[in-house]
């Protein structure tokens, strides 16, 4: 079966998840390392996502400039990259929990998030893609 326009492979989906997790972890590090407090909070969409504990069960179309994901060279490389992101998450978990709750970085849709919220958003983002993973596995007969 050939690739469909606008449909990622499983490898591309994992590449996207890993890249976004590292981006969010960069924001965790910024929140942990900054002394700058931000009194602004979340947008209405951000409040809703955190109230629900996850993204709504709808497909989200990314802008073209953000809608790029690479096919990994091998399952082994993908596995190593997943291990690296999990290790980084564990490394920053305690720092995020101890960080100043008012030290924040702005998310384009959800507003101003602190280190704990950025860390939580990684899990929400992974869970959001579980439905996509199931759909892609069905396409290839897994």
Helices (H) and strands (E) in the chain, counts: 5, 2
Residue 17 to residue 6: CA distance in whole angstroms: 16
Query: What is the value of pTM for the model shown?
Result: 0.84
Write down all domains in the chain, each with its CATH number in brackets.
10-139 (1.20.120)
Q: Which of 19-23, 49-53, 92-96, 138-142 has the lowest mean pLDDT?
A: 138-142
pLDDT digits (tens, 9 = 90+) for 4-42: 556 677 788 888 899 999 999 999 999 999 767 889 999
Other beta carbons within 10 angstroms of residue 30's beta carbon come to 15
Q: Can you tell me the mean pLDDT for 80-98? A: 95
Q: What angle do CA 9, 56, 108 make, to 5 degrees?
A: 80
């Amino acid at each position: 079966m050939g690739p469909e326009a606008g449909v990622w492979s499983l490898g591309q989906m994992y590449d996207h998840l890993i890249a976004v997790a590292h981006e969010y972890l960069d924001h965790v590090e910024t929140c942990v390392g900054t002394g700058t407090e931000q009194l602004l909070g979340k947008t209405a969409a951000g409040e809703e996502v955190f109230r629900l504990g996850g993204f709504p069960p709808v497909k989200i179309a990314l802008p073209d400039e953000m809608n790029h994901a690479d096919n990994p060279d091998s399952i082994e490389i993908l596995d190593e990259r997943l291990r690296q992101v999990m290790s980084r998450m564990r490394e920053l978990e305690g720092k995020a929990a101890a960080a100043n709750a008012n030290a924040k970085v702005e998310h384009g849709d959800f507003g101003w998030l602190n280190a704990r919220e950025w860390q939580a958003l990684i899990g929400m983002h992974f869970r959001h893609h579980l439905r996509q993973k199931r759909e892609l596995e069905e396409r290839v007969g897994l």
